[in-house]
Structure 1
Amino acid sequence: MKPAEIRAIHTEIAALRSGKVAPSRAWKLERLPDGSVRRTALKPEVVCRANAESEAKRLAQDARAALKVTQKDFAALLGVSVRTLHQWEQGRRKPTGAALTLLRVALANPRAVMHAAHA
């Protein structure tokens, strides 16, 4: 495979995971007691929504890990409550607006966020 093809595949995977593109097909696999497997078709929009929610959850966790700070310190840095941050990391709530942008910046460039916080 050529490098351009590999990059295209990775771009498509990222778009699917972030929810920007709906999958053409999605399946749920279940192992039955008799050892067989049941395959059930899922609606693409359901999979798309679930992927977007898990991406937001990973974003909060990964951004905090990149900064190497505690939940309490990271929440103070973002200007949100520890409870809100905890709900983001557990996937019960999704960050929006400026918080989402700041999480993306924190993940991409942790030094810039730390520098801005101490300035």
Structure 2
Amino acid sequence: MKTVRVRIDPAVPESLTSGRIDTARVDATTEADIARQAAADEAAAMQDAAKFVRRVRKRLGLSQAEFSKKIDVPLESIRNWEQGKRCPTGAAKSLLKVLDKAPEAALAALH
């Protein structure tokens, strides 16, 4: 692979490449557009978390009720996580990561 070095001098506008963004579109972006995109990103992250929780539970072969008892978390929390209404945080998030990577050890430590 060939390496190409480019010198950019902010004092010389011709040396600045246009890059991969559409500056006109960026300039036209409003605060409302930014807020709408942030909300969409947050919703996508919640769905990713929901898929992760559901995948961990299903890999263990447990129903929501069984999973809630095993990890000592209210059933309503499990449902909210899997439906994307809430996202696990703190210790619950860490526990889910451990259950994903080492389920037998995690379950043995819990009981």
> Which of 70, 80, 85 does residue 87 from structure 1 map onto?
80
2:66 aligns with 73
- Is 2:58 the counterpart of 1:54? no
Structure whose residues are more often strand by fraction: 1
Structure 1 runs of 4+ aligned residues shifted over 2 Å read 41-48
What is the alpha-carbon distance in structure 2 between the residues aligned to residue 47 and residue 91 of structure 1? 13
What is the alpha-carbon distance in structure 2 between the residues aligned to residue 62 and residue 97 of structure 1? 19
8 Å CA contact retained: 2:81, 2:88: yes
Using the size of structure 2 for normalisation, the TM-score is 0.60
Q: Structure 2: 5+ residue runs without aligned partners?
A: 1-20, 22-32
> Which of 99, 107, 110 does residue 106 from structure 1 map onto?
99
Give me the identity figure in percent.
Answer: 32
What is the alpha-carbon distance in structure 1 between the residues aligned to residue 81 and residue 91 of structure 2? 14
Amino acid of the residue matched to residue 72 of structure 2? G
Amino acid of the residue matched to residue 109 of structure 1? A
8 Å CA contact retained: 2:71, 2:110: no
How far does residue 54 in structure 1 lie from its aligned partner after superposition?
0.9
Using the size of structure 1 for normalisation, the TM-score is 0.57
Q: Number of matched residues? A: 79
2:9 aligns with none
Q: Structure 1: 5+ residue runs without aligned partners?
A: 1-23, 25-40
2:7 aligns with none
Radius of gyration: which is bigger?
2
8 Å CA contact retained: 2:64, 2:75: yes
Q: CA RMSD in A?
A: 2.1
